Structure 1
Amino acid sequence: MKRSWLGLAVVMLSGFSLQAQALESQPVQRAPLTESIQLDGVIEAVRQATVSAQTSGQVRRIHFDVDDAVAPGQVIVELNDTEQRARLNQAEAGLREAEAGLNDARQNFSRVEGLVQRELAPRAQLDQARNQLNAAEARLSRAQAAVAEARQQLAYTRVIAPYGGIVTARHVEEGASVNPGQPLISGLSLEELRVVVALPQRYAASARQQREAQVMLMDGRVLETDGMTFYPYADPATHTFRVRMNLKNPEGDLFPGMLVKVSLPVAERSALWIPSAALVQRGELRAVYVLNAEGQPRLRQVRVGSRANGQIEVLSGLGEGELLVLNPAAALARLEAE
């Protein structure tokens, strides 16, 4: 008889222990929710240009082809410089002649000036010598300018990369004759990229205030943007505003023309948030366990909305301040033990 009472006591105590064990819970609270829109964006290079010829000549050598990496300052195209060198030699000869003429004019001016001072020559002769000196100085200036221009034209026969990057197109071949302004090579830099999106006009004002964005790649990676530029006018055909965002490329695996998703915050509102782990999903059912006044868990169907950082927005079914059970499995075990 004593053993029966002892067994019954053990069963009652174990049941009481299970009931007395508190379920971990927390009050449902409101927190700010930032509403965002997702737009298709396209990556483009900040630095992209076509290098054109600045002097005429025949293409002697092209040092790089499409997809080749070019360092800043490297020679990318060489033109035949025979004509430019001949012009430089001619200009330098003219400079030497002008220097000699100026030296003669100075000596003549000094000689005439001495004669005038000793009253051995009329002052008109001094004026004439001064005019000759001024003319010689002008000829020297023109000769120096001609040499500088000839040297510049010679330098133009070696086309230099303005910045480091990748060659994207060749517009001429070796042996072709080119003229000033004719495209030679196109390229771009992968070090500085940006994303361009078309922002619907109804979001323009709020996006300007937020000035934040996230770029999502197709592989799921999320990249932060640095700086935003809003074009001050809408496209008359689409009524959208063009927005540019600077993008960092630390991995070097982003390329112009790639399609990305851009998330732009456009509004803020207050919302009820719960941890994602507290949500019970059974087919189409979305529910949570809530403690009633007696501290017992009860299943409550809810309607959910946005998800962010391990939290889920509750649109209906829960009220602020209600006690949410954080471990649905423990709540289910409690109900089964009742």
Structure 2
Amino acid sequence: MNPMIRSTRLALAALLLTALAGCGDKTSPQTASSRAPSLSTVVVKPETAHREQVWDGVVEAVNEVTLTAQTNARVLELPYDVGDTVAKGDVLVRFTDIEQKSVRRAAQAQIASAQANFRNAEAQYKRIAEVFSKGLVARSDLDQARMQRDAAQAALHAARAQYSEAGQQVDYTVIRAPYAGIITHRYVHVGEAVQAGPPSPQPLIGLESLKDLRVTVQVPQSAVDAIRNHHHAEIMLGDGKRLAASKVIVFPYADPKTHTFNVRLLLDGSHASLYPGMTVKVAFAVGAAQRLLVPVAALWHQGEMTGVYVVQGDSVRLMQVRVGERFGSRVEVVSGLAPNQHVATDPAAAARYLSSERAEPKA
């Protein structure tokens, strides 16, 4: 902005505020004393609040995963790209499955063969056991039939296990999202051959959940004791609001190079304006302080000037204030107000009241 224009605007705003702040003259438009105003007010009193120190933190996803290949195959389909939001169970990677299905069909045929062998061995054992009960065959024949039956049963169990493993390999050809989130990395492309290992599985997709978030802050060792004692922190959002951490965790060791401690803040509830990777300001409680707090809705703004309407007896006047940090629906008044003053909670109503008083004819 042009410096001359800016100075002119500030001068006009200051002149307007000075004119509105006058209260000694009954004819002044900023003060109404002919009758008591019926305005809703709040009494400003010193309140004990946290004394704070602010550091930068980084938003992280509590649930993040890198999905890896669990079977050897070629990438057939990648429905989503980096930055896409997915739901739980959505297909993220689809592989070719010809080899896996062939192995499963072979395992299924092996089960059929093993079942037939087991039925024959079981029937043979029962016949020999019946004959042995009549004393017509030796015990060795019975024992041999029993061993053949048991071997056939074991072969059947092995065939079923092999079929289950083959079916699992088929399932590995479709990679699904374990939870709802956002795609952060895509390590493969359509047509690329992947290996399950060794030496290590090949990464496929990076996924982060946006539901559960946390904030990690590095704080100096001089502040750690106070943070441990108070265990209270708030994330300062861009719109002036704050989000209280549900839990403050101070790591029990410091970085030997920076001599800082990691502090982790867990978040509950709605945090739609936060995303993994963001930097945020975090206010830690390190002591106690007295603050004058007024509702944010009670503030009057004119350009770069801020004020509140103060009601005293039969008079209403506008006073310039300087505000500090915001605490929920209230904001701290650093200067311009004294304790026990009555502040109008609806500045528009107060302005209308003053306008009506200015419009009344003088006695």
Q: Which amino acid aligns with 2:288?
A: E
Residues 275 and 326, structure 1, Cα contact 8 Å, conserved in 2: no
From 156, 174, 193, give the equivalent of 1:158.
Answer: 174
Against the structure 1 CA distance between its residues 195 and 93, is the aligned structure 2 distance closer, same or farther, given a 3 Å change threshold?
same
Residues 50 and 185, structure 1, Cα contact 8 Å, conserved in 2: yes
- Aligned residue for 2:116, secondary structure, equals helix
- Aligned residue for 1:137, secondary structure, equals helix
Against the structure 1 CA distance between its residues 75 and 307, is the aligned structure 2 distance closer, same or farther, given a 3 Å change threshold?
closer
1:181-224 per-residue CA deviation (whole Å, 9 max, x = no partner) reads 11111121111111110122222222123211111023322112
Quick one: distance in 2 between partners of 1:92 and 1:101? 15
From 132, 136, 144, give the equivalent of 2:148.
Answer: 132
Match of 1:243?
263
Match of 1:79?
95
Match of 2:74?
58
Quick one: distance in 2 between partners of 1:325 and 1:142? 85
Q: Which amino acid aligns with 2:209?
A: S
Against the structure 1 CA distance between its residues 191 and 209, is the aligned structure 2 distance closer, same or farther, given a 3 Å change threshold?
same
Residue 30 of structure 1 deviates from its aligned partner by 7.7
**TM-score normalised according to structure 1 size:** 0.71
Quick one: distance in 2 between partners of 1:55 and 1:163? 21
Q: How does 1:294-333 map to 2 (within 5 A)?
A: 326=341
Residues 192 and 249, structure 1, Cα contact 8 Å, conserved in 2: no
Identity level (%): 38
From 77, 86, 89, give the equivalent of 2:105.
Answer: 89
Match of 1:148?
164
Against the structure 1 CA distance between its residues 220 and 313, is the aligned structure 2 distance closer, same or farther, given a 3 Å change threshold?
closer
From 229, 254, 257, give the equivalent of 1:234.
Answer: 254
Residue 122 of structure 1 deviates from its aligned partner by 0.2
1:167 aligns with 2:183: yes
Residues 45 and 189, structure 1, Cα contact 8 Å, conserved in 2: yes
Residues 69 and 167, structure 1, Cα contact 8 Å, conserved in 2: yes
Quick one: distance in 2 between partners of 1:31 and 1:252? 30
Q: Which amino acid aligns with 1:182?
A: Q
Quick one: distance in 1 between partners of 2:68 and 2:279? 30
Q: Which moved more, 1:68-77 or 1:213-222?
A: 213-222
Superposed CA RMSD: 3.0
From 120, 126, 130, give the equivalent of 1:110.
Answer: 126
From 236, 242, 248, give the equivalent of 1:216.
Answer: 236
Match of 1:203?
223
> Gapped runs of 5+ residues in structure 2?
1-43, 299-321, 343-363
Against the structure 1 CA distance between its residues 224 and 33, is the aligned structure 2 distance closer, same or farther, given a 3 Å change threshold?
closer
Residues 191 and 249, structure 1, Cα contact 8 Å, conserved in 2: no
1:124-171 per-residue CA deviation (whole Å, 9 max, x = no partner) reads 111111111111111111111100100000000011111111112211
Q: How does 1:262-277 map to 2 (within 5 A)?
A: 262-268=282-288
- Aligned residue for 1:223, secondary structure, equals strand
**TM-score normalised according to structure 2 size:** 0.66
1:212-237 per-residue CA deviation (whole Å, 9 max, x = no partner) reads 11110233221122222222211111
From 281, 305, 313, give the equivalent of 1:261.
Answer: 281
Quick one: distance in 1 between partners of 2:122 and 2:292? 93
Quick one: distance in 1 between partners of 2:59 and 2:339? 44
Residue 275 of structure 1 deviates from its aligned partner by 8.5
